[in-house]
Structure formats: C-alpha cells, structure tokens
Structure 1
C-alpha cells in the first residue's frame, strides 16, 4: 500500500518550493498557462479532498481529533466555510456504501469525473446540484441521468451563474407544462433562512414558501402591512390588525404614512413576531428560560446608553433598542442579587436547572461553554460540569455550565471524549473550560466567542491605572464599588431580561 503520509509531506514540500519560485524568467504566454495549470490542480485537489472527507466519515475518524460530528470536523479542523454544502457534494460525487455494505456508484458520475479532471470547480458542482434538486421527483432515473450529464458538459465551458440559466431550460424540457411538480417537490424545496447580522446589525431573510405559507402571509400583509398600520415612526399608529380601530383614525394614520410597501411588510412582520413573543403564544418556557428577549448588558452601558447587548438567542441589539424595549417593560422578577432572591443551590434535590440558574449561566457564559462552539445560550442545556449527575454531581450554579446538546453528550471518560474543569486564574477564572481526554492531558480551553467584548475590555483595563476617588466623584459615580462578582444581578421583564453585570 502506498504511503500517503509521505506523499502528502512531499506535496507540501513541493508547494513550498513553488510558492518560493518566481515566473520572471518566463514569457507572458507561459505565465498565463501556469495560472491555468495551477487552477486545474486546485480543482483536482478538491476532488481528492472529497475522498479524504468520505474516509473520515466512514471511519468516524473525526472523533480522534476531538470533533463530535463530521460537520464540526469540516468547520474547525478543515476550516471549510460552508460545511453542509461540501458534505452534499461528497455525497453526490463519491461512491457511497449501501446499507448492505457494497459500494454504490456516484449519484453524479459525470460531474465527479470533470471535477477530478480539474475542468470544473466546486462552484460549478454546487450549481449543478442546485439544478438537480429542482427536478420533479416523478421524473424517471434515465432522464435525470441525462440532465446530470448535460449539466456536467455545460459546466466545462459555462460559469456557475450560466449553469443556473441552462438549468432553467433543462427543467422546462423535463416538465414543459409544469404538471409534474407535486407536493413532495414543494415540501422538499421549502425553506426560510435568516442570514448573519452585518456591520449595521441588520439581517437578510430569504425564503421559498410553499403555497399555503404564501397564502397565509398574503392575508397577514393585507391587514398588518396596510398603510398606517404598525408604523414604528408614528406614535399614534394602530398596532396589530387594526380590527378595533376607528376608520377615521386609520385613514389619518395612512395619510401620514410615507413608508414603502417593503418597509410596511417588514414592520408588519416585526409586529407579528412581537405579538407572538409577548402574547403568550410561545408558552411559558424554552429550555428553562422564558421565551422572550433576554439580553446581557453592564450597568455602564445602561448609564452611558452605549454599546451592544447580546441576546440569549445569539443576536446583537444596539443599546438604543434595548432602552426602547425596557421603556415598555414592567419588572416582574428580580433574580439573585448576591444570591438572595432566587435559590441557586439545589444539591441533589433536583436534576434540572431552575430558571434563575439558567439566567445566572447566561450572564456568565452567553453561549455554549465548549471552546469554539457558536451555539447561542437559548439552544444550550445545563451541563453538570464539576461532576456528572450520574456520578453524584450537584445541581448548583457553581457546578454547572451551559453546553449545546452535541457537546453535552461528548463528555465522558473515553479517549475520544471530553472533560470539563473550572479555570482558576486569568480572565476566565470561575468559568468551566474543556479539554480532550488525551495523554498527556490536553490544554484546558474556555469559549471566548460569546464574550469577545468582555475580554477586550478586560485587557484594556489592565493597561489603565485605577481611577482615583476624586475622578469617580467628578464623574458622578461616587466611590469605587465592590468587585463585579458581588454586584451581579439580573432582572426579568415580560419581553426581555437584562443581566446587569457590573
């Protein structure tokens, strides 16, 4: 058997030689050809990389490097931006094993062949797969295979965008009257995606709605997005569906409404979400937390009306919006000022964390405590981090940490599993860190992704001399306060929770 380890070492050495080389001695035509050859090799390596990923999946080899799932392996170890799309490509282009053990041919053999030859790239592959997903399920295998072959041939000369345009013609050929699409196809293609927040904290929402969802949305927009309705810029604007609003008042509000239809649609959707969250539609609890907006801020941010607050669901709110929400809220539960208002220590008296314990953990961690995990707090479980419940662990706030489901289940004594331990010094002191069960022991690591602003502030404060009493008084703050740990308290409101962490 060939020694792949040695060959990859030789490849890395060769890549280093090529990187250090210069094309000064070559003519322009050769330089252009070198760029073409380079891109061909990059595409071929993408195909070989698919084989490596399949081998990792078949052997569960991702566990040997501390990853719970193959997707996590692609994200953290291979640093692949879109791991799910890459796995879809692997499943379509590589020979997969059947339930009975034998190897099956690739679903898209022609596309796989072109990628292996370097004539197409991963963007071409994704474009081909996107078109194939839209073929009606009732189309027979022979015509589906013809479509894949045709798209693979087009991909060798067309751009990924042009492949999409060619796909429209192929779909029209396969289903010229649009009669083959059925409920299975509609169910398969429905989707709604919420994009990441940009630099302005805005998010893009994209969706493919099935016919019933579209019809329902039309009904909502007809009432909630009518001119004058749910206008955040108009104090007297009717809220909700406007069913009980006087017609003259609604007409006057419509006359003052200068929003576009798109803006009215947005504001109607926002008002609908507000009604769902604050109208009791979501029930009384979600993973031990109230199903409402929960934010974590400091008293300095409240005082200065500056900064960004992180919600338990993982989104960011500018302080102006936090103040706006707080103005309409009514306090109904004060939670733990120096551990007095709510019990945080249950010992062996109960297994599941209380709401107060969940709020305390949110104030401390903001999300999953496993290093490099991006799961927001609202989607975590409370992990008995000091000792597992089955091993006599206590349901005390000091002994628990939030963990997403997959990482909570990854804790255990096996070599491929993880252990948790409290950190005793540095900016993460008092929080739980994670280490893989290796020999010698792996380094204890905390998750900084959810607390970047705190860490930046921590290291900024290290370089600053402590303010004098006079400076505090001139700032209107009185004398210096006690340490942050003695000043922490949380307040839960009907539509938000503020963690006032000094």
Structure 2
C-alpha cells in the first residue's frame, strides 16, 4: 500500500496556497469552499497515516511479547492506551484506529511476508484520502457482521461498491446506505434483527433531582416510525409557520429543533389525555393540579401536580388549567360526593377524577395516578357500592398485596378532603395502628388543606 505522506504533503501545500495572508474572516466564497475541501482532504490523509501507524504499534505491542511490547517499553499498559495518550484522544477512538488498521493494512506474517489486507477496497480509499477513519470503521463493521452468512465474492463486490459510494457522504447518509446493503446481502437476517429491536424497545420517564422529567427511550422501526413521523410532521408545520411569518416580516427568532420536538410530544400527550374519540378509559391520564383556594386568589404560594414532586408556581397552575386534559383541584371549598350505589359496576370518569384528586396516587406505595387504577374497597362481588367513598387508587402490586394479606382501608370524611387510612393486619401490627395513604402523607400542608 502506498504511503499517504506524499499525498498529505501535497494537500497541505495546496491548502497553504489558498489560505489568506491575514485571516479567514471575510474570505471570498470561492476560496472558502476550496479551503474547506482541502481541510477535509488533509484530515482524511492524516487519518490514513494514523491508521498505518496505529496498526504497526498494535503489531509491535502484541500481548504475547510481554515486557518486550512496544507500548509497555514506553510506559503504557497496551497499544490502545499508548495511542490515546499520545494522540490526545479516547481509548475508544484509539481502538477504532487499530481496528481499521487491522482490516485495511497488509499484515506481516511470521515469515516476514506481507499478507493481503482483509478489506483492500476500503484500505485503498483510506490510503488515498477518499474515505475517513469513521466511515471506514462503519463499512468494516457491517461487512464483518455478515461475513459468515455471505459468500466471499458477494462480500467483495459489496465492499467495492461501498468504497466507491462513501466519498462525499456524511456519516448518517453512509449509515443508511449500510443498513440497506446489509439487508440486501443478508435478507434472512432482517427478521431476527427486527425481533431484537422489538425486544430492546423501552421508554423510561422519571423525575430527576431538580424535579424536571427526563425521558429516555428506544423504539423498533415499525413503532418508532409512528412517533418519529408525527413529531417530525408537527415540527415541519411549525417551521413552515415560522418561514411564513418571516416572509411577512413579523417572525420571531427560530427555536431550536429539540425544543420544538419536546413541545410536539407534549401537545400529543395533552391532546390524547383530553380526547373523547379514542374510546379508551385511561385512569390517571388526566393531569390533576392541586392548589389552595387562597393561593389561587392571591397569586402567591405554589401548587402540586399529581405524580410530580417539584411544586409549581401559581402562574404555571393557571396556565395548565387553561389547557386541555388538566383538572384544577381547588381545595378548601365544599366537595361533591359522587355516588352510584349498585347501579353501575365501573366507576365513572367523574368519580375517578374525584378519587384521584383525593388520593393523589396509589394509597399503598405512592405510585403516580398513571400507574394506578380505582378499585372497590368493599368488593363489588361482595355487595360493595360504586361510590366515591368505596373507591381508592391502587397500583396492581399493592392491590394484590392488600387483598391477599388482609389489609383494610378506611376513609374518614366527605369528598376529596377525606382522609384515607390503611389498617394493617394483626400479623403485621398487633395494635392495627392506621397508616395514612402514601401519596397524601407526602403532600405539602398547603395542598392538603
């Protein structure tokens, strides 16, 4: 393989030839474009040199050499640490250099002969400065992943095609090309890969130490497309509105795309929580905001959102109450008791809202309303009534625990101001001392008034 140093020298000289005498600021467009092209060429040629050097350092630092390893003689644990330290990068980036070198640089056999590179087409692209280190690593990773299931001739054709297509592509575009090429080479592997992606699908929604809500998730392609397409459509619509406003001369500064995406997701959830066309009942999906009546009038104090630990200011309470899917629970006035006796088996939406307002979450463990359901305290099958005073919020785990272990639930007082108590069985507490419901015991005194 030819040395990249001569080409690097030429590229640096060419860059120096177009570089302005004083500074880049204000440089004419044509020169700036050419400078950018040459900077990219220099970077890729530096990558090519780094790959060859890393490959040889790795070869001379093989574990079997022991104390004679080059890296150890230089005071480093291994070749990866030596490269990371001397290049000022991470061990992950250093490992990438070694891996690309091992796949694209001819390796010396014990006899001293050079063995051909495993991926010569990618190697030629790297050495010539047409393919950078990261692009080469991505191509090699895909090809190695299907090597056992694809014939050598097809693999070689695919490598040649990818090496020709990679120059000029950014990494996301190259990754899309690799995904399609992988499916083309190994169509039987698509279904197992989809199954793996479905198994990895998750969404974690939690509060952090500041009281804000952090979302982290991963979705398989078929279900993720539903989320991605809807959010993207809403962001695109906002971008069009911004463009139209700018055309009319009354546009505001553009917002960051991540902020638009967050607002799109919030809008979707807010719409669903108040939508009557879904034909689904979701206990706890309605957001309940608790605020003392005096605080709401005065504009001072704070409110509490069920399921969220961080209190919010009165202006936020008012803003949320003006939106859909939010029920402001103003405490301190008279409470309406909603009773249906034996006429209905299931609690109505209004009853569920009232019980959620009273309990604030699972009375056993404090789980938020979204993970709890309204249950009959005295079972319907045992003659219990579908009244607000005979309902409470329980998550599934606490529901089974309370009924299986013989706990009792007592409600003292009317409506949403009632106190909810859990009475343990004798084997837990011989005195059977009532314990306050978990969610209500953690409320601020102002909110529990």
State the TM-score bracket (shorter-chain normalisation): 0.3 to 0.5
Whose radius of gyration is greater, 1 or 2? 2
Q: Given the two structures, how large is their TM-score scaled by the length of structure 2?
A: 0.47
Larger fraction in helix:
2
Greater RCO, CA 8 A, separation 6+: 1
